[in-house]
Amino acid sequence: MTKRDPRVRELRRAGGWKKQLYDILREHGGFRAPTSRARSARNGRTRAAVGLATQDRREEVLFRLFARLRELGYKIEYVRNISVKHVSALALDMEAAGLSASTIQNSCSHLRVFGHWIGKPWLVGDARQYVRDPERVRRHYAATADKSWRTNGVDLQEVLRQMSLYDERAGIILEVIAAFGLRRREGLALRPHLADEKDTLLVKHGTKGGRPRQVPIDSERKRAALERAKAVCGSVNAHLGWGGLSMSQSDNKLEHILRKFGLTRAGKGVTLHGLRAEYACDALEKRGVTPPVRGGDFTQGPKDVREAACLAVGDELGHGRTGVMTAYTGAVRSRQPAPPVRGAPRPTVTPCAAPTGQVAVPGTPAANDPEPGSERHAA
């Protein structure tokens, strides 16, 4: 929420819980939660910043959740008085409404960050402990199928040819995103002339949290895409987004064009993010590692080779944690039981017959019984 936003004046006049929440967001909303302090120190920053999209999402979700609490009968006049019972009420309400696991988990995540801001780091625990059916909030982060356009039967070159005839700039944006594995906003905000550092592309604008990175220009395909981007932009300071339009307007226009050509999950079964997944899988294969979604097995082969490849490709994609790579490449893991959910009732174990010469102890599971719990997936 910018200072020029007319809602700011309204909130300041209104006072009450909305004004309190706005003030807290203005103070803390632009930074990561204190749990990221160690990572921020490694990056030479006292507080790690978050992107504008994350700030907008935090604002939207928190205002919606506090408003919903009032509808449920919890009229909190002082937002810092939010407690565990309020979190539980919201989670049960979302479960009853049939919201997806990702929506419930994300809402709990925003409330968890809010708890850190107001000095209540214990406010929100595992989302599973607040709902009746823990399976309803289980999220699977690792990819289970190859999201690449090529694997899904979409010819990128033919799409680029047709799209360029309709809108040359849209075709160039798509080509650059595919060649360098960029996010949508990174492709639109890219300034090709300024980003070209001969051997690498400096991805600086539109990144998550404003974290710049460098992507190697190690193929003729990448160099050709960058040169075409320079030509369509013209001036040195121009970005790839359409002239005269804001970033949001350019984003909407690109989305409209993608839908026109059927480049959606409901259309041809692919998304723009699939180009990023294709880049990740191809980059791993170039380093001698076959992604699990393409038949590879991350549990075999030299571990140092796998980790070095995942780290390098993760850096090119702008991810500081190699665990995120599984969202693009899939994961092969042995199923390990997660610790039991805090506050969950202990399972009832039926005593089984003891082997000859042993005495069965009531309440003691047999040696082959699985431990209670569920697999925990990396973000």
Residues 17-55: pLDDT tens digits? 999 999 999 999 888 876 544 444 444 445 677 777 788
pLDDT of amino acid 218 = 92
pLDDT of amino acid 80 = 93
Judge contact between 52 and 247, C-beta under 8 A: no
Q: What is each CA distance from 37 to 32, 48, 137, in whole angstroms?
A: 8, 8, 27
pLDDT of amino acid 359 = 39
The segments of the chain whose pLDDT lies below 70 read: 1-15, 34-47, 139-144, 298-300, 322, 332-379
Q: What is the pTM of this model?
A: 0.63
* Closest to 252 measured CA to CA, from 237, 242, 239: 242
* Closest to 323 measured CA to CA, from 280, 278, 274, 379: 379
pLDDT of amino acid 326 = 79
pLDDT of amino acid 121 = 92
